[in-house]
Amino acid sequence: MNYLSKICRTTQPYTAGEQPQDKKYVKLNTNENPYPPCPGVGEFINNFDREKLKLYPDPENTALATKIAKKYGLSKQNVFIGNGSDEVLALCYPTFFDKDGDGVAYADVTYSFYKVWAKAFGIPSVIVPLSDDFRFNVSGFKQAKCQGMIICNPNAPTGLIVNRLDLIAIIEANPEKVIIIDEAYADYCNCTMANYVSKYPNLIIVKTFSKSYSLAGARCGYALGSETLIAGLKTIKDSFNSYTVNRLTEGIAIKALEDNKYFNAQVDKIIDTRDKYADELRGLGFDVMPSNTNFLFAKHCEIAASELYYQLKKNGVLVRHFNAPRVDAYLRITVGSPEEMTVLINKLTKIINDAHSNKKSQEEE
Ligand SMILES: Cc1ncc(COP(=O)(O)O)c(C=O)c1O
């Protein structure tokens, strides 16, 4: 007897980055922010009246939606809020794609959850491969036969961006298709397309508080889009779980949005650290992709990424290695604080030097 559905039995779930509970690592594996959220968030938590948890939250999260809308010069009807951008992206599938439709298009090397959601919701996938050097295939997306598409910009795990004019060309070439742009990392290169939501009725921008606002643990993300697309997302959400974002998280996200000065300072710090340590990695023999995000995608000229991942973990540093076609030679390294990045560089230097001495002594034997 098998009680599980066919979809459940055949779905390969997303493998989330390790969240180890055994010991303390220098944690550079899930693109979290090394800095705490802004002080207003701390004050909000300290002053939060626990009585408020007796009641369900506002299912529309109106206070937060209004705040987000104001930030982008939109109305709250253009904002959909979810329990992390993963939830928002997942809900996009049944909202915009049919099981018997032309499918959802996405790149071959991109956020690996896109493929998992397609499988889990029974929606066909249309893969548009990146070039050999991981560049985005603009003409492939312009002409893709699909019901809609997801573009991760900047892309993960490569860290590369698609330029604004190319995105506009894709949106304009496909007025009958929904174009979803996942901007989880866009704050690190100031490349948001949020301003185009009022111009293009087929555009959805998905953003998160997890990375640049240091709120991965609070779980909050949102989509911006035309009233029709957002109303569609609400219909599907209310057919699944009406109260996705809790009262604490809503208040925390509002506080985070209020402190622009803190936000900009943290983003600038990450960008400075990223650029400095990308050079340090190059000095150790890594080929590092030009990053527009809070992570570095890097391949060593001699030592396999799987081996470096393993040795780093043994030495208390966690990075991400994807055992997948095209990317298995690379490590994805989150940009931590300068102190954390110094530990990384020191450990890598030792690992690489040890590998050299081992090789030399083997050659001499
Ligand atoms: C490209 C991309 N999109 C979306 C997410 C989901 O973020 P969250 O659910 O924390 O908002 C991630 C998380 O790492 C990501 O890398």
* pLDDT tens, position by position, 14-47: 888 888 887 789 999 999 999 999 999 999 999 9
Residue 49 clears pLDDT 90, i.e. is over it = yes
How far is ligand 1, taken at its centre, from the CA of residue 356, in Å? 37
In whole angstroms, give the CA distance from residue 221 to residue 31: 15
Residue 130 clears pLDDT 80, i.e. is over it = yes
Nearest CA among 190, 174, 167, 157 for reference residue 270: 190
Does CATH number 1.10.260.40 belong to domain 39-258?
no
Residue 361 clears pLDDT 90, i.e. is over it = no
Which residues in the chain are classed under CATH 3.40.640.10?
39-258
Q: Average of pLDDT values for 113-126?
A: 97
Residue 69: pLDDT band (50, 70, 90) is very high
Contact (CB, 8 A) for 35 and 273: no
> Between β-strands 79-82 and 320-321, what pairing exists: parallel, antiparallel or unpaired?
unpaired
Any ligand 1 atom below 6 A from CB of 83: no
pLDDT for residue 96? 98
Alpha-carbon distances, residue 81 vs 48, 78, 187, 244, 341 (angstroms) = 21, 10, 18, 8, 33
State the Cα angle at 219 between 218 and 221, rounded to 5°: 130
Handedness of CA 143, 145, 147, 150 (dihedral sign): negative
Residue 347: pLDDT band (50, 70, 90) is very high
Site to substitute for ligand 1 among 111, 112, 205, most atoms within 8 A of C-beta: 111
pLDDT for residue 358? 84
The alpha-carbon radius of gyration of the chain (Å, integer) is 21
Residue 161: what are its φ and ψ, rounded to 5°? -115, 155
Site to substitute for ligand 1 among 93, 211, 335, most atoms within 8 A of C-beta: 211
pLDDT for residue 260? 97
In whole angstroms, give the CA distance from residue 292 to residue 161: 7
Any ligand 1 atom below 6 A from CB of 156: yes
Any ligand 1 atom below 6 A from CB of 209: no
Which residues in the chain are classed under CATH 3.90.1150.10?
9-34+261-364
> Between β-strands 203-208 and 286-288, what pairing exists: parallel, antiparallel or unpaired?
unpaired
Any ligand 1 atom below 6 A from CB of 210: yes
Any ligand 1 atom below 6 A from CB of 221: yes
In whole angstroms, give the CA distance from residue 206 to residue 224: 7
* Atom of ligand 1 at shortest range from CA of 89: 4
Let me know how many helices (H) and strands (E) the chain has, helices first: 12, 13
Each residue's pLDDT tens digit, 182-223: 999 999 999 999 999 999 999 999 999 999 999 999 999 999
Report the DSSP beta bridge partners of residue 221: 82, 208
pTM: 0.97
Any ligand 1 atom below 6 A from CB of 182: yes
Long-range Cβ contact pairs of 51-56 (< 8 A, separation 24 or more): 52/247, 53/247, 53/248, 55/247, 56/243
How far is ligand 1, taken at its centre, from the CA of residue 261, in Å? 24
pLDDT for residue 356? 86
Nearest CA among 87, 146, 81 for reference residue 113: 87
Each residue's pLDDT tens digit, 146-167: 999 999 999 999 999 999 999 9
The CATH homologous superfamily to which domain 9-34+261-364 belongs is Aspartate Aminotransferase, domain 1 (3.90.1150.10)
* Atom of ligand 1 at shortest range from CA of 210: 10
Residue 158: count other Cβ atoms within 10 Å of its Cβ. Answer: 27
pLDDT for residue 20? 83
> Mean of the per-residue pLDDT values for the chain?
96
Both tokens of 241, joined, read 């779980």
In whole angstroms, give the CA distance from residue 127 to residue 104: 8
Both tokens of 361, joined, read 């002594």
Contact (CB, 8 A) for 334 and 32: yes
Residue 365 clears pLDDT 80, i.e. is over it = no
Q: What percent of the chain has pLDDT over 90?
A: 92
